[in-house]
């Protein structure tokens, strides 16, 4: 079985007590979190940062304490591992990568979770929201 690895992030923006998450509508039709294949000798975080820049033109800052992994078979004979980090965007200004991304959407948590195509992405998003909410409660 051929193995693949991708890395990305749950990207959020927060202002005025309101948090929104970035969801990508891919050219293939599904809605997902930002991610992409590891290239050469990149670290997981280097891959995530590169993919975020390529697909969204955003600058982000990783938040410590979040690293979620999903695994699945995208097609027969392949096994894919995806590592997600949590990243805060410095702006809402995005520019979709035309070759891969049809549209970039900033959505509140509930709408973002409902929009995602795959349950594994929804679960990663729920875990990110839970961590951020817990940190807010602790101040």
- Look at the block and give the residue holding tokens 């096994």: 79
> Quick count: other Cβ atoms within 10 Å of Cβ 116?
21
In the chain, domain spans: 2-138
14 three-class SS:
strand
Query: Measured between alpha carbons, how far is 62 from 86 in angstroms, rounded to an integer?
Result: 6
Q: What values do phi and psi take at 100, rounded to 5?
A: -120, -35
pLDDT for residue 139: 76
CATH architecture assignment, domain 2-138: Alpha-Beta Complex (3.90)
pLDDT band, residue 17 (cuts 50/70/90) = confident
Predicted TM-score (pTM) of the model is: 0.95
Q: Report how many helices (DSSP H) and strands (DSSP E) the chain contains, helices first.
A: 3, 7
The per-residue pLDDT of the chain, averaged, comes to 96
Count of residues in the chain: 139
> Quick count: other Cβ atoms within 10 Å of Cβ 80?
16
pLDDT digits (tens, 9 = 90+) for 71-124: 998 889 999 999 999 999 999 999 999 999 999 999 999 999 999 999 999 999
114 three-class SS:
helix
């Amino acid at each position: 079985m051929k193995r693949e690895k991708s890395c990305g992030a749950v990207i959020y923006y927060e202002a005025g007590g309101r948090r929104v998450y970035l969801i990508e509508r891919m050219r293939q039709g599904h809605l997902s979190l930002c991610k992409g294949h590891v290239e050469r000798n990149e670290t997981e975080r280097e891959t995530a940062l590169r993919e975020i820049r390529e697909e969204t033109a955003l600058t982000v800052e990783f938040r410590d304490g979040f690293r979620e992994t999903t695994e699945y078979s995208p097609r027969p004979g392949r096994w894919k591992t995806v590592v997600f980090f949590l990243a805060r965007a410095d702006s809402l200004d995005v520019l979709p990568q035309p070759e891969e991304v049809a549209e970039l959407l900033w959505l509140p948590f509930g709408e973002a979770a409902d929009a995602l195509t795959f349950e594994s992405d929804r679960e990663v998003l729920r875990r990110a929201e839970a961590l951020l909410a817990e940190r807010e409660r602790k101040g």
